[in-house]
Amino acid sequence: MTTSTTTPPNTLPYEECRGVLRVYSDGSIVRSPNPSFNVPILDDGSVAWKDVVFDPTNHLQLRLYKPAAATRSPSSSKKLPIFYYIHGGGFCIGSRAWPNCQNYCFQLASQLQCVVVSPDYRLAPEHRLPAAIHDGVAALEWLRAQAEADEPDTWLTDVADFENVFVSGDSAGGNIAHNLAVQLGPGSPELGPVRVRGYLLLAPFFGGTVLSKSEAEGPKDAFLNWELIDRFWRLSIPIGENTDHPLVNPFGPFSQSLEPVALDPILVVVGGSDLLKDRAEDYAKRLKNWGKKVEYVEFEGEQHGFFTIHPNSQAAKDLMPILKRFITENSS
């Protein structure tokens, strides 16, 4: 399998994802350096940001954000919760550096008054699952290293509250957040002194071999239609597996039962016109019936990823106070 940023000199059939990834029938892969969403970056200076390498071996970076006013407030001021934002893209595309991701992180840092950590992760099909889950863990372990460092990065440590960490993910990032919640367990003891307080799954990307009603009957012109959902899964699940893989289907025939598993509080958010809606709703209902602290919020008529695709929409604006309330209610 080879990856390049130029089109191969052949006319082989290929599969395409959002105009930035082509996978040819001979196994070669072409990635465009351009993002799928060509929107301007709205940086008004109210949020400070920078990039940090968190996994040198895999050349992975994360982008840190904080309210600019926090840079002028010494450590005597109240420290800010940490909000991980793991980008979406069907495990195949996306980046912390895409402008839609950066613009949303600006809003998160400003409106939630938090430190935002937006990590990259290895993408499929070059790196199929569970690579993205491992990278999600590595991004949190980087935070633990900062909390324990003798000479930490004061840009972060002067303002960040390591005891109030929230892990959020958009679409594929929501899937990663779920799998981190299960792996780390309540209180994230293996990350101490870092303490995860809750998980926010925004339009989480789950699957299964038996289609849900919304998947089977959803409109073909949906922003995330079934053809693209199916393509993302085929390119990202381990070779020889199907969408009942435990990392894909939390309630599949090969998945551990989550009934006896203790979990930190979880917020699930989905658009009512998202083809993944039924899976998100079923996920929340099952966990709640098992006694987990789970909240489900559905925005009627909204498509997949409405909060980043249309960040100035009324629904996207209405989502922010819901996120802020969840953080406030679950902080120490």
User: Which residue range is the domain that position 112 belongs to?
Assistant: 42-330
- Confidence class of residue 5 from pLDDT cuts 50, 70 and 90? low
Report the domain count for the chain. Answer: 1
197 inside domain: yes
10 inside domain: no
184 inside domain: yes
With 70 as the cut, is the pLDDT of residue 156 above it?
Answer: yes
Give the model's pLDDT for residue 70.
87
- Confidence class of residue 259 from pLDDT cuts 50, 70 and 90? very high
Q: How far apart are CA 22 and CA 5, in angstroms?
A: 10
Give the model's pLDDT for residue 149.
96
Report the predicted TM-score, pTM, of the whole model to 2 decimal places.
0.95
Question: Residue range 19-33: average pLDDT?
Answer: 94
Burial class (CB in 10 A: 0-12, 13-18, 19+), 206: buried
182 inside domain: yes
- The residue whose two tokens read 């303002």 is 159
Residue 36 is a catalytic residue = no
Q: What is the CATH number of the domain that holds 62?
A: 3.40.50.1820
Average pLDDT, the chain: 94
Which one of the listed residues 110, 118, 168, 171 is annotated catalytic? Answer: 171
Give the model's pLDDT for residue 12.
84
> pLDDT by residue (tens digit) across 63-87?
999 999 986 555 446 899 999 999 9
Residue 12's nearest CA partner among 31, 2, 27, 1 is: 27
Residue 99's nearest CA partner among 87, 117, 110, 90 is: 87
19 inside domain: no
37 inside domain: no
> pLDDT by residue (tens digit) across 82-106?
999 999 999 999 999 999 999 999 9
32 inside domain: no
Radius of gyration of the chain (CA): 19
308 inside domain: yes
Rounding to the nearest 10 degrees, give the CA dihedral for residues 114, 45, 48, 71. Answer: -80
> pLDDT by residue (tens digit) across 190-208?
999 999 999 999 999 999 9
